[in-house]
Structure 1
Amino acid sequence: MEGVTATLSKPALKIGPYEVDPPVVLAPMAGITNVAFRRLCREYGAGLYVCEMITARAVVERHPGTMHMMSFDHGEYPRSMQLYGVDPKTMREAVKIIVGEGLADHIDQNYGCPVAKVTRKGGGAALPYKRTLFGNIVRASVEAAEPAGVPVTVKFRVGIDDEHHTYLDAGRIAEAEGAAAVSLHARTASQRYSGEADWTRISRLKEAVTSIPVLGNGDIFSADDALRMVAETGCDGVVVGRGCLGRPWLFGELEAAFAGRPAPQGPNLGEVSRVLRRHAELLIEHDGAAKALRDLRKHMAWYFMGFPIGSELRRSFAMVSSLDELDDLITRLDHDAPFPSEALGPRGRQGSPGKVTLPHGWLDDPDDPCVPEGADVMHSGG
């Protein structure tokens, strides 16, 4: 990564009234992008950091767990909230609550989830196929947010599968209905997170959507990847998801690269341990020790990816139950071990491609405006 510099000169990314510099957005990830992880990432670099997915229905019903998830750190600005819903009326009401009570400064809508429990109800990546319904949802959200000056953005995938691409229609519809920006995860729902993202789709979306920013998402695991995506596709910014798992310092590397500075060297194991300890402290501050340490366990493999750590010590980290225990385990690490080059590649879930589960008759009429039954009966966070 040393020596990577930006050779790009593009206008600053603006989402509504907000300038996003560098043009980097943290993708909302269920169980990951809580207030603690966002703060950790923000300590390395500027950008836009989106919270975990919040369901519109849970906002309207004032679900206690959801209201706790709608937390932002002091100084976090703009406060970016991802809102999910399939019913224009529910989305309108939820947005009214959010903007009326000053709960967020930016609302992002995600129609890219490929998980079967979501698509089988007509939600997530299945929904943009219903063009009229999709447009109604975006319009209702924009109209509810507009009086408060809160921008609404929309994220989606290439389509359901290779026979049913929806991204160009989705981009044009979102643009026409007043979205402030669109983001494309350059995979179909059937790909899930497998294979490679097709960045040429981002280029095509950029050609189709001309009056608002287009952001690209998929396979950004380094600062060089981000610069290359912008150079190859012409997109206005990048959305980073799995690449920052166990690597919150990636946002510092991205900030340096987009500013034309060499990206800093990856941290040694001692510095990674310090970051891990900081992550634990922030989680405890947000959720209390018991829940925080349970939550931290899933991050261990990502933090230590590629480092020379014995299997027994890895298992101990993955079962940690107290801060004292974490501190003891950290003392057993080789703090001088350098950051491994093999840790720069893909991380997080990948899985295999597969057939997308859809409601019966879902593909019959793309202009059917009917709200899919039961698709919003799910917990916030995905």
Structure 2
Amino acid sequence: MAGITNMAFRLLCREFGARHSEDAGGLYVGEMVTTRALVEDHKESWRLVTMGEKETPRSIQLYGVDPATVGRAVSMVLERDKADHIDLNFGCPVPKVTRRGGGGVLPWKTELFTMIVRAAVKAAGDVPVTVKTRMGVDEDHLTYRDAGLIAQEVGAAAIALHGRTVKQHYSGQADWEAIADLKQTVTGIPVLGNGDIWSAEDALRMIEQTGADGVVVGRGCQGRPWLFADLAAAFSGSDERVQPTLGDVARTLRRHAELLTEFYEDEGRGLRDLRKHVAWYFKGYPVGGEARQGLAAMESLEDLDAKLAALDWDAPYPGAPAEGPRGRSGHSRRAAVPDGWMDSRELSPEHRERLHEAELDTSGG
């Protein structure tokens, strides 16, 4: 969700979630930031972990490959009073990260994974640290059970499992049976399920089928920030669901534009950021190709208003066509790993020497 869950989108999701829950329906985690960037005091990275006044609790997500750097970054975050909760991401399947030993293939190196999580927990003190991971590198090299037990042993507050391997990327269906298995394996801390939560009903089914203590939502909220209103309602026992008309979607998109403009303090930059959300927002609605192209090329808030005004705001919620999978999916492919990476669960000197390269250019998973 890198590039998606900035402050503007988090606030929008939180506003919907708060409709049915005083605590806004859960945690709204920030974009993944590398620990190395924080330690090296990169201005943009520190801006990304800075939360708004309305964001309580403040949840940030960190990614790192070196225990000392991770520990120092966590210490700096807390010294600067930037977080109430820290999530460690070990789920990235992007080849440019995994081929260097980072992301979703890092938990294969058990000792390294243990040292990183332990360093973060120690540095965090009373601030909860959670861990997100995938099932493993591929079906023959699963790591989620070990990762869950290690997270529990070193003091993590919870473990979240995306029911896909690195090899799968975002293709196919998430394996909820693995989440159920992890729940049976890890009994001392909460287990959260991630993968294919496209609706509140999906979330309820996951809890029922796996016994998970909660769910983690990623791509399912792209273009649908009202999903958090549905989730909050469902978990409170209500059947109420948000079924927005095209006018409701237009108003939400406009609100998103305002929040992005405030976040970037630059109308042009905010609208450029919004462009990637257009197709997600209007999925299933009667908005033609020409109108979509025009919205994806908006140049100002005034221009956006004019283009939104031209839509049929009375068009009703389209139902199933507006629901279901969204965002990237791709296809299953062999996981990219460093030469010799899968030969041992221990980190070799050669791999250790080059591991820092896995933190130079990353994306969330």
Offset at residue 380 of structure 1 (A): 7.8
The aligned counterpart of 2:75 is 96
CA contact (8 A) 1:186 1:202 kept: yes
Q: Deviations over 1:17-44 (max 9, x none)?
A: xxxxxxxxxxxx1000000000000001
Identity of aligned residues (%): 57
TM-score for both structures, normalised by structure 2: 0.94
Offset at residue 356 of structure 1 (A): 0.8
Which amino acid is 2:229 matched to?
Answer: G
CA contact (8 A) 2:164 2:175 kept: yes
Which amino acid is 2:29 matched to?
Answer: V
Structure 2 residue 10 is matched with structure 1 residue 31: no
Determine which of 229, 237, 254 is the counterpart of 1:277: 254
CA contact (8 A) 1:66 1:380 kept: no
Distance of 2:238 and 2:334 partners within structure 1: 44
Deviates more, 1:247-256 or 1:332-341: 332-341
The aligned counterpart of 2:150 is 173
Determine which of 278, 289, 302 is the counterpart of 2:267: 289
The aligned counterpart of 1:204 is 181
Distance of 1:343 and 1:281 partners within structure 2: 24
Offset at residue 70 of structure 1 (A): 1.5
Distance of 1:157 and 1:70 partners within structure 2: 24
Structure 2 residue 92 is matched with structure 1 residue 113: yes
Offset at residue 100 of structure 1 (A): 1.5
Offset at residue 264 of structure 1 (A): 2.1
Which amino acid is 2:315 matched to?
Answer: A
- Secondary structure of the 1:31 match is coil
Which amino acid is 1:229 matched to?
Answer: M
CA contact (8 A) 1:58 1:380 kept: no
Distance of 1:275 and 1:53 partners within structure 2: 25
Higher helix share: 2
CA contact (8 A) 1:184 1:215 kept: yes
Q: Deviations over 1:132-181 (max 9, x none)?
A: 000000001101111xx111100000011111111001100111111100
Long gaps (5+) in structure 2:
18-23
Distance of 1:369 and 1:377 partners within structure 2: 20
List, as ranges, runs of 4+ consecutive aligned residues in structure 1 with deviation greater than 4 Å: 379-382
Which amino acid is 2:189 matched to?
Answer: I
Distance of 2:4 and 2:54 partners within structure 1: 20
- Secondary structure of the 2:161 match is strand
Structure 2 residue 290 is matched with structure 1 residue 312: yes
Q: Deviations over 1:70-99 (max 9, x none)?
A: 121112111000010000010011011011
Describe how 1:1-382 pairs up with structure 2 within 5 A. 29-45=1-17, 46=24, 47-146=26-125, 149-287=126-264, 288-341=266-319, 342-368=321-347, 371=352, 372-378=355-361
Distance of 1:380 and 1:315 partners within structure 2: 27
Distance of 1:140 and 1:369 partners within structure 2: 20
The aligned counterpart of 2:20 is none
- Secondary structure of the 2:238 match is coil
Q: Deviations over 1:292-312 (max 9, x none)?
A: 010000000000001011111
Q: Deviations over 1:216-264 (max 9, x none)?
A: 0000000000000000000000000111100000100111111011132
Distance of 1:208 and 1:381 partners within structure 2: 26
Which amino acid is 2:155 matched to?
Answer: G
Distance of 1:126 and 1:265 partners within structure 2: 38
Which amino acid is 2:311 matched to?
Answer: L
Long gaps (5+) in structure 1:
1-28
Which amino acid is 2:283 matched to?
Answer: M
How many residues align? The count is 352
